[in-house]
A and B are shown apart, each in its own frame.
Chain A
Amino acid sequence: MPTTAFLTDATICIGCKACEVACKEWNEVPEDGYVWSGLSYDNTQSLGASTWRHVLFLEQPLAAGPQVADTSDPFRWVFLSDVCKHCANAGCLEACPTGSIVRTEFGGVFVQKDICNGCGYCVVSCPFGVIDKRYHDDGRAFKCTFCYDRQKVGLMPACATACPTQSIQFGEVGELKQRGKNRVAELKARGYGDARLYDPTETSVGGIHAISVILGEPEAYNLPPMPEVPTSYLKSAWTSAFVSAAILMAVVLAAFAMRP
């Protein structure tokens, strides 16, 4: 089976949220509250247990890039549909103590909801802040399934299917990475000097299966510039535990060996 991926292009996203709607309807994800956040047109604010696609609305005082028409100040308005990154080395998958989170044959990271017992360890182990627990009604952890059910029968994920501008593209990971690089080169040639591909391969995460073409710094999109998979901290933490444990046992034995 080929490893599949998303390539989401911020420069052609129109912020329509069809991906959010399609994802909710297809996956029967509960609503996440009807609240105006006041943060541009973004009312879901972040990815979470019940928000598997999240359209960001960036407002920046920059003259480069798509501008809002009715203001004289420089005002760049950028949209990006964010999603679980389906990391090559996935923090949630490594942390999961029940084996509920698995790697699918398409390279995606999938939570088996009949196994998850809601321990919450995946939540603090995701360097992208994606997976979360549904607190009150359910108690289990949820995130994007990469439409595993659709992929199994040869269909595109619901979000990519519903995207009216092909801002969300779906395909084989290597091919999409190349397409992303070409797109960035094309954008730069057209004068978008700060266009870049978000694909942190130089970290312990080892690459992601949901890459994005963005304008400007990844931080402005709440995308971590150097995400690390928490298992990379295990060696030093366990070393400390074993060394301290050995010293502690020696001290306790010594304390009882001393005779008054």
Chain B
Amino acid sequence: MTTDSKAKPKATEQRLEEIRESARRVAPPPPPEIAVKTATGAASAAETGYYGLPLLKPPTWTWEVPLYVFLGGIAGTSACIAFAALAFQAPTNLIRFALWMGLIGAAICPALLISDLGRPERFLNMLRVFKWRSPMSMGSWTLVGFSGSVFLAVVAIELVVRGYTQPAIVTILWLAQITAALTGLLLASYTGVLIGATAIPVWHQHRTLLPAHFLTSGLGGAVGILELAGFLIPATQILGFATSGVETVIEIYLTVRKGVADKPLHHGVSGGTLRVAGMLEGPVALLIRAVWHAEPWGRYAAAICFLLGALMSRYAWIWAGRESSHDTGTLFQLQRGERHA
């Protein structure tokens, strides 16, 4: 074990003795700036906690992390699209485009994560251990696995389109695409598990919704980019309907549900952003797609709405976590067994 804890010549036993003796002997004079509050109200009570100060620490993550969750979702699910396209002999240019989306995402994602670290130069420490019980560790390994397999898949498909269709290369393409799709599914969903398995009430109360929402939202985003790139095929239309349909259900669920920890999902900047995000990803995208399903611009508009909503939703969820960490009263309510407001 490395410890950093070699006894240094710092404070000594004698110094600790001095601190104790002076604390015992000298009653410090009350500083004039502080008046002892008279007992007018409960400064510390079971309902409000200690002076209403936050019990939990807020998330330390900066702007890179929600953007990573957004891009990771798109990159991961685009590998799933690429695999389905390969399996059912969709046009090769679609497979190529989707795989390149995955690869570009896999290149941006680590950069975002590393720049969020307090000690970026130590990013490789993420691969120092393999911990099943830490979603952050699993996520790091997933990202490594995804990057490797999607890179291999891109190399293979680029060889195939240039006429190198030897069985070995085709086999590698298939294996790499299967691995990319599987790790892609993990990449798009583990972020929901990661924030769901924390002490932050609004996150852990929605720990089953979050992975499903992030996956759906990631897929809808990937489909949106494909449509904007001109792939206006039936498959992207079907998936566009499916994802905005599911997001509509999630939006209704969040609006109707009155969980005790849900305040930051309805109020303030996080709540407002989440409402707009949910509307854009859900009903607005669905409606535009339904009414103008035959028009290319209708599909472009639906895609743009969905992408915008998906991006906003990631920021809203992280902001909601920050709000939730300050709300000590709700934490106590939850721990006393009150689940609904």
Contact = CB atoms under 8 A, between A and B. Distances in A.
Contacts of A245: 185-186, 188-189, 211, 215
B97 interface: no
Given A60-B45, A117-B119, A253-B88, A112 B3 contact: yes
B162 interface: no
B46 A216 contact: yes
Contact of B10 (A14, A25, A222, A241): A25
B11 A25 contact: yes
B193 A114 contact: no
A116 B46 contact: no
A61 B84 CA distance: 67
A163 B20 contact: yes
Given A71-B39, A249-B181, A255-B84, A222 B125 contact: no
B77 interface: yes
Given A217-B46, A220-B46, A234-B193, A162 B19 contact: yes
Contacts, number: 346
B196 interface: yes
A156 to B, nearest CB: 9
A97 interface: yes
Nearest to B22: A18
Contacts of A31: none
A248 B39 contact: no
Nearest to A112: B2
A109 interface: no
Contacts of A95: 134-136, 197-198
A129 B325 CA distance: 9
A126 interface: yes
Contacts of B140: 97
A126 B331 CA distance: 13
Given A22-B19, A25-B11, A99-B128, A119 B34 contact: no
Contacts of A75: 38-39
B44 A58 contact: yes
B93 to A, nearest CB: 14
A60 B84 CA distance: 65
Interface in A14-47: 14, 16-18, 21-22, 25-26, 28, 36, 38-42, 45-46
A80 to B, nearest CB: 10
B49 A249 contact: no
B331 A224 contact: yes
Contacts of A244: 189, 211-212, 215-216
A148 B37 contact: no
Contacts of A216: 46
Interface string A228-243: 1011011011111101
A48 B50 contact: no
A129 B55 contact: yes
Interface stretch (B99-107, B233-241, B286-294, B308-316): B233-241
Interface centre among B81, B135, B234 (most CB of A within 10 A): B135
A256 B57 contact: no
Given A25-B19, A131-B57, A133-B60, A117 B125 contact: yes
Contacts of A118: 117-119, 122
Interface in A105-136: 110, 112-121, 123-135
Interface of B: 1-8, 10-11, 13, 15-17, 19-24, 28, 30-31, 33-34, 36-47, 49-51, 53-61, 77, 80-81, 84-85, 87-88, 90, 116-120, 122-123, 125-126, 128-129, 131, 133-137, 139-140, 181, 185-186, 188-190, 192-200, 203-204, 207-212, 215-216, 219, 234-235, 238-239, 242, 321, 325, 328, 331-332, 335-336
16 contacts: A25-B15, A98-B128, A114-B4, A115-B2, A117-B117, A117-B119, A124-B57, A124-B199, A124-B321, A158-B16, A233-B197, A237-B208, A240-B193, A241-B190, A248-B77, A248-B219
Q: Pick the 8 closest A-B CB pairs, nearest first.
A: A118-B118, A139-B118, A18-B23, A120-B60, A117-B122, A241-B211, A217-B46, A164-B24
